[in-house]
Amino acid sequence: MAIWQETFTARSFDVDGRGSLTPLALLAWMLEAAGRHAVALGWGIHELHQRGMTWMLSQLRLAVAALPGWGATVSIRTWPSGVDRLFALRELELLDGDGGVLAHARTAWLLLDLGTRRPLRPGAELASLSEATSSQREHGAAEALPHLAAAGGASTFLARPFDLDVNGHVTAATLARWVLESLPAPTLTGSRLQSLDLDFRAEVLLGDEVVGEYESRGSFHLHRLRRTGDGREVLRGRSCFAPI
């Protein structure tokens, strides 16, 4: 129970035009496994809603070595890895059939009061969940990503009903898709993702219009999602791609 592992198979709608698992499908798998493990530990989203609380993803640091192809069966392994200030930390790994690590993600989560939408300080009960896995890649929360100074391109997105999750805001996977889809198509089709770092800074609600902006800096790109209604920055990102 301390370490959760479940199997996934890459279906036709999980892969891209090259037949490889999309980074967005990988992120969806990882978030699903994290949610299932939280339920098993007694900290699932529905249990928290009954207590007037919820989870919100605050940071994602994803490194990708390789992605499986259509029809491949792989596993996601995940475990809580500690508490750092207001953040509950969780590690996730994508494993091939032989147990080799294809991708790794470090995540930081906030426990929010549903009424005020303000963070709550994790208590001893939550911190104790990582005691059995304290040697498994334990880290503190990552440093914040740099501010995007000057955007080199922009795309506009609208939050629609099927973009929302049970918390009533746009899902982390949808925001990640908007970040990547802000980039030029040749970048996405002619290279492969090596890393994706995201800092979620504010909620995006139904009907919000969001501008996705990016700036290329050599081998990587800085990203920003900004609400057009009030100009607020809702996400900072950084991505790195390698030629195919």
pLDDT (0 to 100) of residue 147: 87
Whether residue 111 sits in one domain with residue 15: yes
Examine residue 143 and state whether it is found in any structural domain, yes or no: no
pLDDT (0 to 100) of residue 129: 81
pLDDT (0 to 100) of residue 143: 85
Whether residue 128 sits in one domain with residue 163: no
Examine residue 100 and state whether it is found in any structural domain, yes or no: yes
Examine residue 10 and state whether it is found in any structural domain, yes or no: yes
User: Which one of 105, 133, 161 terminates a domain?
Assistant: 133
Whether residue 64 sits in one domain with residue 113: yes
pLDDT (0 to 100) of residue 152: 77
Name the pairing type of β-strands 119-120 and 153-158: unpaired
Whether residue 175 sits in one domain with residue 99: no
User: CATH no. for residue 26?
Assistant: 3.10.129.10
User: Which one of 133, 162, 185 terminates a domain?
Assistant: 133
Whether residue 174 sits in one domain with residue 86: no
Q: Contact 205/236 with Cβ under 8 angstroms?
A: no
pLDDT (0 to 100) of residue 137: 53
Helix (H), strand (E), coil (C) string for the chain: CCCEEEEEECCHHHECCCCEECHHHHHHHHHHHHHHHHHHCCCCHHHHHHCCEEEEEEEEEEEECCCCECCCEEEEEEEEEEEECCEEEEEEEEECCCCCEEEEEEEEEEEEECCCCCEECCCHHHHHHHHHHCCCCCCCCCCCCCCCCCCCEEEEEECCHHHECCCCCECHHHHHHHHHHCCCHHHHHCEEEEEEEEEECCCCCCCCEEEEEEEEECCEEEEEEEECCCCCEEEEEEEEEEEC
Examine residue 72 and state whether it is found in any structural domain, yes or no: yes
Quote the pTM value: 0.93
Examine residue 235 and state whether it is found in any structural domain, yes or no: yes
Whether residue 45 sits in one domain with residue 125: yes
pLDDT (0 to 100) of residue 141: 77
Whether residue 10 sits in one domain with residue 114: yes
Output the tens digit of pLDDT for each of the chain's 244 residues: 689 999 999 999 999 999 999 999 999 999 999 999 999 999 999 999 999 999 999 999 999 999 999 999 999 999 999 999 999 999 999 999 999 999 999 999 999 999 999 999 988 888 888 776 655 555 677 788 988 887 777 899 999 999 999 999 999 999 999 999 999 999 999 999 999 999 999 999 999 999 999 999 877 999 999 999 999 999 999 999 998 8
Examine residue 56 and state whether it is found in any structural domain, yes or no: yes
Whether residue 125 sits in one domain with residue 9: yes
Whether residue 167 sits in one domain with residue 111: no
Residues spanned by the domain of 52: 4-133
Whether residue 191 sits in one domain with residue 125: no
Long-range interactions of 11-16: CB distance < 8 A, separation 24+: 11/70, 12/70, 14/70, 15/69, 15/70
Examine residue 128 and state whether it is found in any structural domain, yes or no: yes
Number of structural domains (the chain) is 2
Whether residue 97 sits in one domain with residue 22: yes
Angle between helices 23-40 and 172-181 (to 10 degrees): 160
Whether residue 123 sits in one domain with residue 8: yes
Examine residue 188 and state whether it is found in any structural domain, yes or no: yes
